[in-house]
Structure 1
Amino acid sequence: MRPPFDPTLYLVTDTGLSRPRPVADVVRAAVAGGVTAVQVRDKTASRRELLELTRTVQTALADRPDVAVIVNDAVDVALIAGADGVHVGQDDLPPAEVRALLGPGRLVGFSVSSVDELDVALAQPAGTLDLVGIGPVWATPTKPDAGNALRPDGVRALAAAARAGGLTTVAIGGIDATRAAEVAATGVDGLCVVSAVCVAPDPAAAARALRTAIEQGRVAA
């Protein structure tokens, strides 16, 4: 059975943006403020360092089994750490191969930024994917190679098609508390944020503001 996964407010970690605070401290505070899932991402880390980072995040959330901890890209790290899943991009390992390695009991997410890429996701064998990350909504310095901005209308169209195919959806890219309601109103199941929480002086307060905006957007949808 796959672990619980609430995509409402999905934090993607950034070690550099969190400094001088440890990532685990930012994660702990953000979850206290309303973050519902965490993806451990550090593109500059070695596999050993990523494993250590994943374990520190898991330890920080030991009392929150309802908050899934997902590893970006590194299937080996996720398996060794016993993480709840893996998120892969278009240029990473094929989703079906990732599912074969992870087995049925973990989550697999996949990034899409266009109709063609969503078609790849929808063509996967049944049970391969749990989630698609749709973006970038707006251009973002945390992922400069993410492709052209979809803006909310583009997200809405992709989210509807993904939902019709049975996939959970989250939007990512340039989202902060001033934009969260607009994105939440597109019909996605959740919002992914990086800098909106990682650079915030008070990650808990930042998460609370995002959750409030998400609820406002859902009511307006």
Structure 2
Amino acid sequence: MNAFQANKLALYFIAGTQDLAPNQTLPELLEKAIRGGITAFQYREKGPNSLKDAHALEEMARTLQVICRKHQVLFFINDDLELALTIQADGVHVGQTDQPIQEVIARSAGQLMIGLSCHQLAEVQAANDIPEVDYVGIGPVFKTSSKSDAEPPLGIEALHVLAAVSTKPVVAIGGLTPLNISDFDFNTITGIALISALTQSDDIAQTLNLCHQAMHLVDCQTPSE
């Protein structure tokens, strides 16, 4: 596990094979995103068109992990603690209705970074009281098509309220694009999570460049290949 650094959450890409266009492969897409400047990646394999075979899923996870390690990009697994522990990922991310956070902590504290999804004030406050939670993902901010069971959109004002309450680094998620993040308060929001904005982009480098500009990440350098 790499040491946790909050600034590594700045540009957080989330994807699985279910998010791909017919002519895409996930390793190729990840490589492009890394060249564009992402700082963290979460492998989220969920949905009707996702991989179901455990061997194939682990094989894909290991392939993606190698790419992330090569470029020093944080590698998280979504809601699969066993897989995250087996391959020694950097971290695991869980939702409120996934495996109970205390179970995740009991098995992974000290081995994995832990991210927790939050949508309500009480959830953010509860996360504040859990030392082992490294960051919270707050959203969805806007309507999203990437998650069929997503909560209702929060909107920017509610996002800012929850982010101001959080004592953990905050990653905003849900329908984010370079345009609609321009009004975010990046004094309280550490990073943004992108799914469709990248998987459906015709020019990933340009999309990420626009995100850099909107977030004023003037010191963020694009990794070398």
Structure 2 length as normaliser, TM-score? 0.86
Q: Report the secondary structure of 1:62's partner residue.
A: helix
Q: Distance in 1 between matches of 2:180 and 2:109?
A: 37
Task: Choose the corresponding residue for 1:118, options 115, 124, 133.
Answer: 124
* 2:138 aligned partner: 134
Question: Displacement, 1:138?
Answer: 0.6
- In the TM superposition, 1:76-95 aligns within 5 A as 76-95=82-101
* 2:195 aligned partner: 194
* 1:59 aligned partner: 66
More displaced, 2-11 or 85-94? 2-11
Letter in 1 for 2:129: A
Task: Choose the corresponding residue for 1:27, options 22, 27, 30.
Answer: 30
Q: Distance in 2 between matches of 1:186 and 1:113?
A: 19
Deviations 1:112-163 (A, max 9, x none): 0111222332233x2x200100001011011132212111111111111113
Tell me if the contact between 1:171 and 1:183 (Cα under 8 Å) persists in the aligned partners.
no
Question: Displacement, 1:2?
Answer: 5.2
Tell me if the contact between 2:19 and 2:146 (Cα under 8 Å) persists in the aligned partners.
no
Structure 1 length as normaliser, TM-score? 0.88
Task: Choose the corresponding residue for 1:48, options 55, 59, 75.
Answer: 55
Structure 1's unaligned 5+ residue stretches are 217-221
Tell me if the contact between 1:39 and 1:71 (Cα under 8 Å) persists in the aligned partners.
yes
Q: What is the aligned-residue RMSD (CA, Å)?
A: 1.8
Tell me if the contact between 1:86 and 1:109 (Cα under 8 Å) persists in the aligned partners.
yes
Runs of 4+ in 1 over 3 A off after TM superposition: none
**Residues 1:178 and 1:74: Cα distance change in structure 2 (over 3 Å):** same
* 1:18 aligned partner: 20
Tell me if the contact between 2:2 and 2:74 (Cα under 8 Å) persists in the aligned partners.
no
Structure 2's unaligned 5+ residue stretches are 218-225
Tell me if the contact between 1:95 and 1:108 (Cα under 8 Å) persists in the aligned partners.
no
Q: Distance in 2 between matches of 1:197 and 1:146?
A: 19
Q: Distance in 2 between matches of 1:10 and 1:69?
A: 10
Which structure has more helix as a fraction of its residues? 1
Tell me if the contact between 2:4 and 2:113 (Cα under 8 Å) persists in the aligned partners.
no
**Residues 1:146 and 1:131: Cα distance change in structure 2 (over 3 Å):** same
Tell me if the contact between 1:40 and 1:71 (Cα under 8 Å) persists in the aligned partners.
yes
Q: Distance in 2 between matches of 1:17 and 1:184?
A: 28
Question: Displacement, 1:91?
Answer: 0.8
Q: Distance in 2 between matches of 1:80 and 1:199?
A: 31
Deviations 1:138-197 (A, max 9, x none): 11011132212111111111111113xxx1110001100111222354721000010001
What is the total number of aligned residue pairs between the two structures? 210
Letter in 1 for 2:29: V
